[in-house]
């Protein structure tokens, strides 16, 4: 349970439990825990939801179903309320860091965020991170800040991620429905069965749910980060954490850590297109650690440029087996698919390289590959 640098994610149900603005009902105890961690020489980065909830009473809407534009307006004004609510509990200054998926997908911005947080931690400042809801173009999707917290933990090179919720952890069944539901104190491997146990959030202000918390735990543990889902409404939980006692569900960090670049490829950057490959290419990638050659490509879909991330799809099963950075655009691949590498220059009039996706710029999706192998075995 001991940690040196942690990311703590706090959901909107804890920041604005009354649904009428920010409150200290639960955040005070969380802030006291963070202060005690700092006094022990630990570093903490806070990922806080609650902007929309905090601004809900300040923007007229007249409907329980909010449009994207109204949510953005609420988030903009509510963000100020949320930051003020946190700062009043700390003697040390807090910083506001607003990021988007695009910021995390761009490698240079990714490094910039990392450097900024590092300097703030060195100066005793508490970074408070949230998604920049006002400028994002996509809808405020479920699980944004759960998954954002996992990515921030990666950016900061944290050793622990604490996801605070209004539930004790992962149960064998939904404890709000089943009296015989049992808390699972430790999960060493996240499987389909674990996901099947995940319930859904009933709080219309929340953008999470147990499923997205497990998804965040999967991202973090793959990067060697121990992850905990704990009940942030109970003050005794924080005393247990300080005593190095697990009060919720702990997801054990994967010892087989994938590199930061491949973690970024897998979880952060969005794919711009799809490349369907034949069985020979699939076997070469999976069993030989090979790069993708044009001869193994059967078809290309969507428009993308050289340098974009693409999905690599098995032709027969349609299973996504890998993601990677392509050295050729979709239009160029349509001319060289199925050809030998020696024929690239003749087909295009130029040649960027013998491979389409280099193995160093590719991450295999092991769970999908295992599912594919199981299906082939059962045939």
| pLDDT tens for each residue of 328-341 | 999 999 999 999 99
Task: Name the average pLDDT for the chain.
Answer: 86
Dihedral sign computed on CA atoms, order 131, 133, 136, 142: positive
Report whether pLDDT(157) > 90. no
Mean pLDDT value of segment 78-104: 91
Residues 35 and 90 in one domain: yes
CA–CA separation, 81 vs 274, rounded Å?
A: 43
Q: Name the percent of the chain lying above pLDDT 90.
A: 47
Residues 373 and 333 in one domain: yes
Residues 71 and 128 in one domain: yes
Range from 42-46, 153-157, 322-326 carrying the lowest mean pLDDT: 153-157
Residues 38 and 108 in one domain: yes
The CATH number assigned to the domain holding 340 equals 2.30.130.10
Domain boundary among 198, 232, 262: 262
Residues 12 and 82 in one domain: yes
Dmax over CA atoms of the chain, in Å, equals: 70
- What confidence tier does 375 reach under pLDDT thresholds 50, 70, 90? low
Residues 242 and 120 in one domain: yes
Residues 309 and 221 in one domain: no
Structure-model confidence comparison of residues 15 and 144, the more confident one: 15
Report whether pLDDT(115) > 80. yes
Report whether pLDDT(207) > 60. no
Q: Which two tokens stand for residue 356?
A: 């389409």
Domain boundary among 218, 233, 262: 262
Report whether pLDDT(251) > 80. yes
Residues 258 and 278 in one domain: no
Range from 3-12, 30-39, 239-248, 362-371 carrying the lowest mean pLDDT: 362-371
Instruction: Please report the pLDDT score of residue 122 as a whole number.
Output: 84
Main-chain phi, psi angles of 253, to 5 degrees? -60, 140
Report whether pLDDT(208) > 60. no
Instruction: Please report the pLDDT score of residue 367 as a whole number.
Output: 78
Residue 45's nearest CA partner among 139, 154, 199 is 154
Residues 291 and 364 in one domain: yes
Residue 270's nearest CA partner among 311, 214, 226 is 311
Count of domains forming the chain: 2
Mean pLDDT value of segment 82-109: 89
The CATH number assigned to the domain holding 78 equals 3.40.1160.10
Range from 76-80, 202-206, 239-243, 361-365 carrying the lowest mean pLDDT: 202-206
Task: Compute the C-alpha angle 188/189/193, nearest 5°.
Answer: 125
Name the CA dihedral angle for 167, 173, 175, 176, rounded to a multiple of 10 degrees: 100
Instruction: Please report the pLDDT score of residue 142 as a whole number.
Output: 35
CA–CA separation, 118 vs 243, rounded Å?
A: 27
- Strands 126-131 and 43-48, sheet pairing: parallel
- What confidence tier does 378 reach under pLDDT thresholds 50, 70, 90? low
Report whether pLDDT(32) > 70. yes
Report whether pLDDT(303) > 90. yes
Residues 242 and 366 in one domain: no
Domain boundary among 204, 231, 262: 262
Residues 146 and 289 in one domain: no
Residues 75 and 172 in one domain: yes
Range of the domain at 340: 271-378
Prediction pTM value: 0.70
């Amino acid at each position: 349970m001991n940690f040196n640098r942690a990311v703590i994610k706090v959901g909107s149900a804890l920041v604005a439990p009354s649904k009428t603005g920010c409150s200290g009902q639960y955040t005070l105890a969380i802030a006291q825990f963070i202060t005690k961690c700092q006094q022990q020489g630990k570093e903490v980065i806070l990922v806080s939801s609650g902007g929309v909830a905090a601004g809900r009473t300040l923007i007229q809407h007249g409907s329980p179903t909010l449009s994207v534009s109204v949510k953005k307006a609420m988030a903009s004004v509510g963000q100020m309320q949320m930051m003020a609510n946190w700062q009043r509990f700390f003697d040390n200054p807090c910083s506001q860091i607003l990021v988007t998926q695009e910021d995390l997908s761009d490698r240079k911005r990714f490094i910039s965020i990392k450097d900024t947080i590092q300097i703030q931690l060195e100066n005793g400042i508490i970074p408070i991170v949230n998604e920049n809801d006002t400028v994002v173009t996509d809808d405020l999707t479920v699980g944004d800040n759960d998954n954002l917290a996992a990515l921030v933990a990666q950016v900061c090179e944290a050793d622990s991620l604490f996801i605070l919720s209004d539930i004790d952890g992962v149960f064998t069944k939904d404890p709000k429905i089943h009296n015989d539901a049992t808390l699972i104190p430790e999960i060493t491997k996240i499987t389909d069965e674990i996901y099947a146990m995940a319930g859904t959030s009933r709080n219309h202000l929340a953008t999470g749910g147990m499923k997205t918390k497990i998804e965040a735990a999967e991202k973090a543990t793959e990067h060697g980060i121990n992850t905990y889902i704990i009940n942030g409404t109970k003050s005794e939980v924080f005393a247990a954490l300080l005593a190095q006692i697990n009060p919720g569900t702990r997801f054990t960090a994967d010892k087989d850590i994938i590199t930061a670049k491949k973690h970024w490829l897998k979880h952060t950057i969005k794919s711009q297109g799809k490349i369907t490959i034949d069985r020979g290419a699939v076997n070469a990638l999976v069993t030989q650690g090979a790069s993708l050659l044009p001869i193994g490509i059967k078809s290309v879909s969507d428009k993308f440029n050289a340098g974009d991330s693409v999905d690599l799809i098995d032709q027969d099963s349609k299973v996504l087996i890998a993601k990677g950075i392509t050295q050729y655009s979709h239009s160029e691949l349509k001319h060289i698919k199925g050809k030998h590498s020696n024929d690239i220059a003749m087909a295009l009039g130029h040649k960027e390289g013998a491979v389409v996706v280099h193995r160093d710029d590719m991450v295999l999706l092991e769970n999908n590959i295992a599912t594919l192998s199981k299906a082939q075995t059962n045939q």
